[in-house]
Amino acid sequence: MYGSLKQGLATIADLEARFCDHVFPILPVVSRFQLGITPTNRVPPTAALERCPLHLLGAMYALALRFVSHDEHCAVWHAQTSLSTGILWRFVYEELQEQVHQPEMSVVQATLLYLHKEPADEKRHSLVDTPFTWSWTGKLVGLATSLALNTECSMWAIPSWEKRLRRRLWWAVYAEDKWRSLLMGRPPYIHSQEWDIEELDCSHFGPASAGMPQKEHIHFQSFIGLTQIAESVQETFYSLRASQKLSVDMGTSIQVARPLLQRLEAWRSSLAESGRHSHDPVDSSSGNTETRASLHFAYHLLVIYVYRALFRPMVQSMTPPHVIDLEEPIVFDNTLDLADFNWGAPGSTNTTPFPAADAPYDTQTKVVEDITRAAAECAAGMVNRVRRLSFGDFSGFWHSCKFNFTFCRHNFQRLANASQFVGSRIGFAVTSNFLVLLIVQAPNAHCAMRAKQLLEIWNQTLTARCTLCPMVRLGMLRLNSLNSAGLSETFHLPLHVEQALNR
């Protein structure tokens, strides 16, 4: 395996060029200087590949394999070899287990790239990730801090290329931690008081004198800016203590949400402004198209997270039931008449669904109506954003934390090889749950009908793309599970919501 991998990579070094063309602009965690890549020579020399550790080469190779069709020589070689991405990722995993005891920066790079491997089988597209993903993220953060990537290195006596790489690598690790923490409901590993890396700018992607295209930093910088807002959303709304406090405090929730929404709007405006000033031609040779669709999707998803938190204090939860201590004797009240009590046995037709609240909230409250209306507009923006996605929007590698579809311009078959991850799949599931929430907590008939229409459009959109894009399957499964059971059987719905669903 060792020899064939080294020989194969040395023979088809064009794959490394495919990595730098398609993956590097989205995940700039390698050094092109170290690979010997220049504006005039996009193919790294064999000597540079020989110096590169095998675990890093294997991870880069596995991610680049999905783009072999962009190079005729690579495509022919890959068709004649038995080496698959599954074999490569297994090789990378085993190598990392050996190297983790005395890690170098290449171990952090390969560990990060390993998080972006595609699911092993088709069923994984419809399931959430196992705890391994979060444990692996913790290992990634631990390795990064062990190598002091969380410390500003501007005054260190190290080469300039290494300073640039260390900064980019830290911000990539930071993004993995923050997005996965929010999406998976886990406490983050990285805390704001424990790192001091300066903000990214174009100089961190290579010296201007090197002649490398400077437009490629815009995407990653914008993503990191949005990640910083995602960190604030998690800390202020979805951390354990914040959720306990704000779930019953509407006034404070609104005060917390307002600056977050303002920051999101400012980010969106800055992204639009950078798009208007970007006149760089598309590099057709690499197959990439300049698109911000995935960033806009992530933006809409964060807005959904804010409004979802605002919905929590609108409905009071039921008083939790008394927990019986098995070590204490159970005292029965013999005065209770249980002759006609319905225990809700299977097949019973007159059971009452578990209520979502003690009582419906005040439908006349202007605050509730305003929040519901704004939340519906937010949901409509997300639905329309996904409906407008075209095959030309996504033709290359996409960062797995950006919750995107991965479409291909040339044919549908490549969709199965596109970047997959819990972030993209959970993003669609979160949207599905939010649209259901809009119906369940609709304050009046008009809001209920509007939410029902949005859910129907979303259902149609996911259904149309389900066979072509596997990562939407988790969002589709959430809808199917609720629809099969019936919303009225799952939630305690107000009369106007029941009537809207029956129309």
Mean pLDDT of 246-253: 90
d(CA 67, CA 18): 7
Highest mean pLDDT among 18-27, 60-69, 236-245, 456-465: 236-245
CA distance 421 to 401: 7
Q: Supply the pLDDT for residue 295.
A: 85
The answer on pLDDT for 350 being more than 60 is: no
- Once rounded to an integer, what is the mean pLDDT over residues 157-163? 94
Tell me, what's the pLDDT at 311?
A: 92
Using the predicted structure, report yes or no on whether residue 138 has a pLDDT greater than 80: yes
Strand partners, 38: 41
Q: What is the pLDDT of residue 158?
A: 95
What whole-number percentage of the chain has pLDDT above 90? 39
> What is the model's pLDDT at position 414?
30
pLDDT of residue 338: 43
pLDDT value for 26: 81
Residue 118 has pLDDT above 90, yes or no: no
Q: Tell me the per-residue pLDDT of 54-109, one tens digit each, with 9 for 90 and over.
A: 999 889 888 887 766 555 555 555 555 656 788 889 999 999 999 999 999 999 99
Distance, in Å, from the CA atom of 369 to the CA atom of 448, rounded to the nearest integer, reads 12
Q: Mean pLDDT throughout 345-371?
A: 52
Q: What percent of the chain has pLDDT over 70?
A: 67
* DSSP state letters, 333-365: -TT---TT-----TT-SSPPPPPS-SS---TT-
211 in Cβ contact with 218 (< 8 Å): no
The Cα-based distances of 229 to 182, 224, 375 in angstroms read 11, 9, 19
pLDDT recorded at residue 420: 33
* 412-426 mean pLDDT: 41
What are the boundaries of each domain within the chain?
1-114, 310-317+355-502
Region 418-425 average pLDDT: 45
pLDDT at position 465 is: 74
pLDDT higher than threshold 50 for residue 419: no
Write out pLDDT tens, residues 254-294: 999 999 999 999 999 998 877 665 544 334 333 344 447 77
Q: Does the pLDDT value for residue 503 go beyond 90?
A: no
- The answer to whether the beta carbons of residues 13 and 45 sit under 8 Å apart is yes
Q: Return the minimum-mean-pLDDT range out of 100-109, 193-202, 327-336, 468-477.
A: 327-336
Give the integer Cα–Cα distance in Å for 257 and 383.
22
The answer to whether the CB of 357 falls within 8 A of the CB of 315 is yes
Question: How large is the average pLDDT for residues 147-163?
Answer: 95
Whether the per-residue pLDDT at 20 is higher than 80: the answer is no
CA distances from 159 to 50, 110, 204, 424 (A): 21, 21, 13, 36
Strand, helix or coil at 41?
strand
Report pLDDT for 213: 55
Note the pTM of the prediction, 2 decimals.
0.81
Q: What was the pLDDT predicted at 344?
A: 41
What pairs with residue 41 in β-bridges? 38
Average pLDDT over residues 454-467: 86
pLDDT score of 12 more than 60:
no
Here the contacts of 251-258 (C-beta below 8 Å, separation 24 or greater) are: 253/309, 253/310, 253/312, 253/313, 254/310, 254/367, 254/371, 257/306, 257/307, 257/309, 257/310
At 388, the pLDDT band (50, 70, 90 cuts) reads: confident
CB distance 83 to 8 below 8 Å: yes
Residue 328, pLDDT above cutoff 80:
no
pLDDT for 156: 95
**What is the average pLDDT value for the chain, to the nearest integer?**
76
**Cα(387)–Cα(300) distance, rounded to whole angstroms?**
14
The residues near 441 (Cβ < 8 Å, ≥ 6 apart) are: 311, 314, 315, 372
